Amino acid sequence: MSEEDILNEARAINKLCQGSHENIVTVFNHGRFNATFPLYFIDMELCDINLEEYLLGTKSGIRGLVDRGTACKEGRHQFLILAIMQQLISGLSFIHSHDEVHRDMVLQNGNNCS
């Protein structure tokens, strides 16, 4: 990662930390250990499940969502998909409202802390 990339990420994190959103992990702290240290750290809320694990049924317990297996057994799978999409869109809308974009939308980054 170049210095310009690091500064861009730091700027975006600072902007997004001015507010909070239930569908976006909380950043507690970020920065460098000292001015000359080349690495950047981000101290974030621990999420022990991501969207891929939830959809594959390997883990359950995403905030606000019924267990995937239960939803399928009860014929509510389509409502579960709608709920997931609502959470994703709500989080992305928050990011976009701060004039930022999510540049890495993949299932493994679909973290939603339990």
Phi, psi of 28 (to 5 degrees): -85, -40
Q: What is the pLDDT of residues 89-101, one digit of tens each?
A: 998 899 899 888 8
**Position 113 confidence tier, pLDDT thresholds 50, 70, 90:** very low
Q: What is the pLDDT of residue 110?
A: 56
Higher-pLDDT residue of 8 and 110 is 8
Give the number of other CB atoms < 10 A from CB of residue 48: 10
What whole-number distance in Å separates Cα of residue 34 and Cα of residue 18? 23
Tokens of residue 88, six digits: 């994703």
The pLDDT of 78-90, averaged and rounded, is: 87
Q: What is the pLDDT of residues 14-59, one digit of tens each?
A: 888 877 888 888 889 888 888 787 788 889 888 877 778 877 777 7
pTM: 0.70
Higher-pLDDT residue of 83 and 62 is 83
Q: What is the pLDDT of residue 12?
A: 87
What whole-number distance in Å separates Cα of residue 88 and Cα of residue 110? 8
Q: What is the pLDDT of residue 107?
A: 64
